[in-house]
Amino acid sequence: MILIYLSCKDIEEAKKIGKTLLEKHLATCINFFPIQSMFWWEEKIEEADEAALLIKTLKQNYKAIKVEVEKIHSYKVPFIGAFKVNQINEPYYHYLKKNVKKYYGKKSSLAKPNLKVKPYVR
């Protein structure tokens, strides 16, 4: 499992991207929330109110998600970064596998994952 992070110009764009990914079964859940950003753009530091997306998916889907995001996204240079999830609770992992298709369009199998499914411990 991976989490993909990206920022969008606003909540509406974040919802549009999220809904597209869910409809194509490329993700099992999308979280979006308002953020404030500072960044270099055209030789100066800019500030903007934006929206962030956190996409829960399978590692194999990164490329397909990247392609879909680049089709829809309004930014010339969007950041589309992935974080590997090392541990996940088993019920959520099965929920993820049931609802997400691998990027080549077939339903993912419930084959034993590469990641270790361990209960969360504080």
CATH number at residue 70: 3.30.70.120
Domain annotation covers residue 114: no
Pairwise CA distance, residues 13 & 2, whole Å: 22
Please tell me the total count of domains within the chain.
Answer: 1
Domain annotation covers residue 105: no
For tokens 């019920």, name the residue.
91
Please give the residue range of the domain that contains residue 16.
2-99
Domain annotation covers residue 8: yes
Task: Give 67-121 pLDDT, tens digit per residue.
Answer: 999 999 999 999 999 999 999 999 999 999 888 986 555 544 333 344 444 444 4
Domain annotation covers residue 122: no
- 4: helix, strand or coil: strand
Domain annotation covers residue 107: no
What single letter denotes the amino acid at residue 72? I
pLDDT given for residue 6 in this prediction: 96
| pTM of the model as a whole | 0.80
Q: Is the dihedral of CA 62, 68, 29, 7 positive or negative?
A: positive
Domain annotation covers residue 106: no
